[in-house]
Amino acid sequence: MIQLRRPPGQFARVGHRGASALAPENTLPALELAVELGCDMLEFDVLDLVGGTLVLAHSGDLHEVSHGAARGRVRRRDLAGLRKVAPGLPTLDEALAFCAERLPGIGLQLDLKRRGIEAAVVAALREHEVLDRSWVSTFDARSLRRMAELEPELPRAYTLPRDRFGISKRGPLAPLVRGALGSIGASLPRRLPVLLARTHAGAATLHHSIASKAAIARAHELDAAVYVWTVDDPRLAERLVRDGADGIITNDPRIFTMFQA
């Protein structure tokens, strides 16, 4: 199985939804471009449609998935209907087949967006023979525990914090949410052992706002890896690598040429 912990000074270069700053996110061209720009690992989101088809999509918001071409809810359309407004939308099977054939040796981080898809994800990884270079991450503790039951050897990462809708960046509640995130960051080194044990996770995927040197060090004491999202500032990436981060998840892989690891 893939090893998420990296030796000091070494780190995984992870393309967030591919090279999503440079190509439509969660598409095959974005994945391929990230590798061309030096990523040795790819992150993409996995969501289920009505009927059970798994696709690469971050949310149920059709406006986001169609890259602004339509509005509505993803789960109100089948795959054929979705592809009328999002022609580049790949299924998980298509993405894994593409990675197996075109991107050998590249690590795969599957970010699970809805509980209940765990068995289908494991089956797809096995079918396309990429299980040994894959790992999963999610905000959902129950989803991680289910993954541990289905495929104990598949690495699992618990994602923090749960500001999945980006409230900390916009709206009248933003200052309050940012304050709460600051509190999470301060207490994280103390809470990590319980969080990782409760979720059966051997790694943490942390937003850069809470990925302190102390949190990374505490995770490493537990033999847990730390991958940090979403880092598009090369100076921040350099600091996080210096602090011991095992992986940097970015929308723009060009940042990796802008600093010395």
pLDDT digits (tens, 9 = 90+) for 23-45: 999 999 999 999 999 999 999 99
- In the chain, what are the domain boundaries? 12-256
Confidence of residue 179 (pLDDT cuts 50, 70, 90): low
The pLDDT value recorded for residue 17 is 98
Number of H helices, E strands in the chain: 9, 9
In the chain, the largest separation of any two C-alpha atoms, in whole Å, equals 49
pLDDT over 80 at 220, yes or no: yes
Name the residue with higher pLDDT: 105 or 179. Answer: 105
- Mean per-residue pLDDT for 56-63? 89
Which pLDDT value is given to residue 167? Answer: 45
Return the pLDDT at 173.
Answer: 57
Residue 39's pLDDT is what? Answer: 99
Can you give the pLDDT at residue 140?
Answer: 97
Query: What distance in Å separates the CA atoms of residue 134 and residue 155, rounded to the nearest whole number?
Result: 8
| Range scoring the smallest mean pLDDT among 19-28, 66-75, 163-172, 208-217 | 163-172
Global confidence as pTM: 0.93
* Alpha helices (runs of H) in the chain, residue ranges in sequence order: 28-36, 62-65, 79-85, 92-102, 118-127, 141-150, 174-199, 213-221, 234-242
Give tens-digit pLDDT for 139-173.
999 999 999 999 999 999 999 985 554 544 555 65
* Pairwise CA distance, residues 51 & 126, whole Å: 21
- Percent of residues, the chain, with pLDDT higher than 70: 92
Between residues 17 and 173, which one has the greater pLDDT? 17
Pick the CATH number of 12-256 from 3.40.50.1220, 3.30.230.70, 3.20.20.190, 3.40.50.10790: 3.20.20.190
CA distance 252 to 218: 28
User: Which of 47, 34, 115 is CA-nearest to residue 86?
Assistant: 47
pLDDT at 47 over 80: yes
Phi-psi region of 110 (alpha: psi -120 to 50; beta: other; left: phi over 0): beta
Residue type, 45: D
Per DSSP, 154 falls in state S
What does the mean pLDDT of the chain come to? Answer: 92
Structure tokens at 188: 């994280």
pLDDT tens per residue across span 85-129: 889 999 999 999 999 999 999 999 999 999 999 999 999 999 999
Question: How many of the other CB atoms lie within 10 Å of CB of 130?
Answer: 22
Range with the poorest average pLDDT among 24-28, 48-52, 146-150, 204-208: 48-52
